[in-house]
């Protein structure tokens, strides 16, 4: 399973590309599953399934936002597989998306992974390229 990875500033969504929500990276999905980026607890799950948050044991807060303006789908074509307060493992599927249906409706499924509480820590992410689920990005 390989995904193309891009720097956050290249995404066409100002709230993310500006860095206002934190540092991060984007992905182009190559299958219908969005997986946990780290071991932790689901601390936020939007009812629409288009976004979720995970907090690691170390206190790192990670936001995963699936697609651009996909909140407008109101949960259609998103199947939530994990729920608020669930303990999850890195690479565990969290949301199943119907990529073909969503893209057919004209939505961009660029997926953003944001560290929302960097707490003045130096966060360096690898450059653009291909990555597989489970690859360490820092």
- Which residues are known to be catalytic? 65
Q: Which tokens sit at 46?
A: 């939007």
DSSP H or E stretch at residue 14: helix 14-17
CA–centroid distance for 22 within its chain:
13
Sign of CA pseudo-dihedral 123, 91, 58, 14: positive
Beta strand 40-45 with 33-35: parallel, antiparallel or unpaired?
unpaired
């Amino acid at each position: 399973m390989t995904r193309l990875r891009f720097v956050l500033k290249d995404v066409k969504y100002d709230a993310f590309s500006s860095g206002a929500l934190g540092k991060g990276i984007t992905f182009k999905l190559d299958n219908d599953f969005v997986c946990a980026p780290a071991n932790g607890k689901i601390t936020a799950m939007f009812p629409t399934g288009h976004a979720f948050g995970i907090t690691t044991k170390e206190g790192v807060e990670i936001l995963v936002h699936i697609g651009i303006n996909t909140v407008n789908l109101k949960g259609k074509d998103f199947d939530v597989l994990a729920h608020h307060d669930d303990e999850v493992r890195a690479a565990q599927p969290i949301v199943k998306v119907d990529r073909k249906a969503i893209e057919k409706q004209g939505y961009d499924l660029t997926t953003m992974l944001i560290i929302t509480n960097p707490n003045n820590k130096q966060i360096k992410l690898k450059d653009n390229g291909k990555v597989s689920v489970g690859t360490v990005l820092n």
